[in-house]
Amino acid sequence: MTSLSAKINEVFDEPGCGKNQGKGEKERKKGCTKQLQPGGAAGGCAFDGAKIALQPITDVAHLVHGPIACEGNSWDNRHAASSGSRLYRTGFTTDIGENDVVFGGEKRLLKSIREIIEKYDPPAVFVYQTCVPAMTGDDIDAVCKAAAQKSGKPVVPINAPGFVGPKNLGNKLAGEALLDHVIGTQEPDYTTPHDINIIGEYNLSGELWQIKPLLDELGIRILACISGDARYHEVARSHRARAAMMVCSKAMINVARKMEERYGIPYFEGSFYGIGDMSETLRQIAQLLVQRGAPDELIGRTEAVIAREEARAWSRIASYRERLAGKKVLLITGGVKSWSVVAALQEGGMEVVGTSVKKSTQEDKERIKELMGQDAHMIEDMTPRETYKMLKEARADIMLSGGRSQFIALKAKMPWLDINQERHYAYAGYEGMVALVHEIDRALSNPVWSQVRLPAPWEETSWEQAADAVIAAEAALPPEDERDRELCNCTGLSVGAVEDAIRTHRLTEVPQVTQVIGAAGGCGGCGNRVAALLARVNAGDTPAFDKAA
Of residues 367-426, which lie at the interface with other proteins (CB under 8 A)?
Answer: 384-385, 388, 403-404, 407-408, 411, 413, 422
- % helix / strand / coil in the chain, to the nearest 5? 50, 10, 35
Using CA atoms, how far residue 28 sits from 22, 24, 199, 359, 418, in Å, is 9, 6, 25, 19, 35
Separation of CA 491 from chain center: 26
Q: Does 101 bind other proteins (CB under 8 A)?
A: yes
Q: Which of 9, 15, 76, 150 binds other proteins (CB under 8 A)?
A: 76
Q: Does 112 bind other proteins (CB under 8 A)?
A: yes
d(CA 326, CA 364): 25
Choose the stretch contacting other proteins; rule: CB under 8 A; options: 16-24, 104-112, 217-225, 249-257: 104-112
Q: Decide whether 316 or 413 has the Cβ nearer to other proteins.
A: 413
d(CA 461, CA 464): 8
Q: Does 77 bind other proteins (CB under 8 A)?
A: yes
Q: Does 213 bind other proteins (CB under 8 A)?
A: no
Helices (H), 463-509: 463-476, 495-505
Q: Decide whether 42 or 476 has the Cβ nearer to other proteins.
A: 42
Encoded one letter per residue, x for contact with other proteins by CB under 8 A and - for no contact, window 434-463 reads --------------------------xxxx
Q: Does 161 bind other proteins (CB under 8 A)?
A: yes
Q: How many CB atoms lie within 10 A of CB 413?
A: 17
Q: Decide whether 177 or 220 has the Cβ nearer to other proteins.
A: 177
Restricting to residues 480-539, which ones interact with other proteins according to CB under 8 A?
A: 489-490, 492
Choose the stretch contacting other proteins; rule: CB under 8 A; options: 158-166, 230-238, 389-397, 529-537: 158-166
d(CA 279, CA 285): 10
Q: Which of 69, 378, 471, 516 binds other proteins (CB under 8 A)?
A: 69
Q: Does 143 bind other proteins (CB under 8 A)?
A: no
What is the nearest approach in angstroms of other proteins to the Cβ of residue 504? Answer: 24
Q: What does the DSSP 8-state code read for residue 34?
A: P
Is the Cβ–Cβ distance between 489 and 527 less than 8 Å? no
Q: Decide whether 287 or 462 has the Cβ nearer to other proteins.
A: 462
d(CA 8, CA 46): 11
Q: Does 471 bind other proteins (CB under 8 A)?
A: no
Restricting to residues 271-310, which ones interact with other proteins according to CB under 8 A?
A: none
Q: Does 108 bind other proteins (CB under 8 A)?
A: yes
Q: Decide whether 95 or 201 has the Cβ nearer to other proteins.
A: 95
Q: Decide whether 46 or 507 has the Cβ nearer to other proteins.
A: 46
CA atoms within 13 A on the CB side of 465: 6
Q: Does 467 bind other proteins (CB under 8 A)?
A: yes
Q: Does 79 bind other proteins (CB under 8 A)?
A: no
Closest of 215, 211, 170, 176 to residue 46, by C-alpha: 170
The 3-state secondary structure of 279-309, one letter per residue: HHHHHHHHHHHHHCCCCCHHHHHHHHHHHHH
What is the nearest approach in angstroms of other proteins to the Cβ of residue 466? Answer: 5
Q: Does 90 bind other proteins (CB under 8 A)?
A: yes
Q: Decide whether 33 or 185 has the Cβ nearer to other proteins.
A: 33
Is the Cβ–Cβ distance between 522 and 491 less than 8 Å? yes
d(CA 406, CA 401): 7
Q: Decide whether 22 or 384 has the Cβ nearer to other proteins.
A: 384
Encoded one letter per residue, x for contact with other proteins by CB under 8 A and - for no contact, window 28-67 reads -------xxxxxxxxxxxxxx--------------x--xx
Q: How many CB atoms lie within 10 A of CB 84?
A: 11
